[in-house]
Chain A
Amino acid sequence: GAVVSQHPSWVICKSGTSVKIECRSLDFQATTMFWYRQFPKQSLMLMATSNEGSKATYEQGVEKDKFLINHASLTLSTLTVTSAHPEDSSFYICSATRQGLLEIQPQHFGDGTRLSIL
Chain B
Amino acid sequence: GQNIDQPTEMTATEGAIVQINCTYQTSGFNGLFWYQQHAGEAPTFLSYNVLDGLEEKGRFSSFLSRSKGYSYLLLKELQMKDSASYLCAVINSNYQLIWGAGTKLIIKP
- A residues with a Cβ closer than 8 A to B are 2, 6, 34, 42-44, 46, 91, 93, 95, 104, 106-112, 114
Contacts and interface: CB of A to CB of B under 8 A. Distances in A.
Given A43-B87, A43-B99, A107 B48 contact: no
Given A43-B99, A43-B102, A44-B87, A106 B43 contact: no
Contacts of B33: 106-107
Nearest to A108: B45
Interface of B: 30-31, 33, 40-45, 48, 50, 87, 91, 95, 97, 99-102
Q: Is the interface of B mostly helix, strand, loop or mixed?
A: loop
A93 B43 CA distance: 9
Nearest to B97: A107
B50 A111 contact: no
Could you say which of B42, B44, B102 has the most chain A C-beta atoms within 10 Å of its C-beta?
A: B42
Given A43-B101, A44-B87, A110 B42 contact: yes
Given A44-B43, A109-B43, A104 B102 contact: no
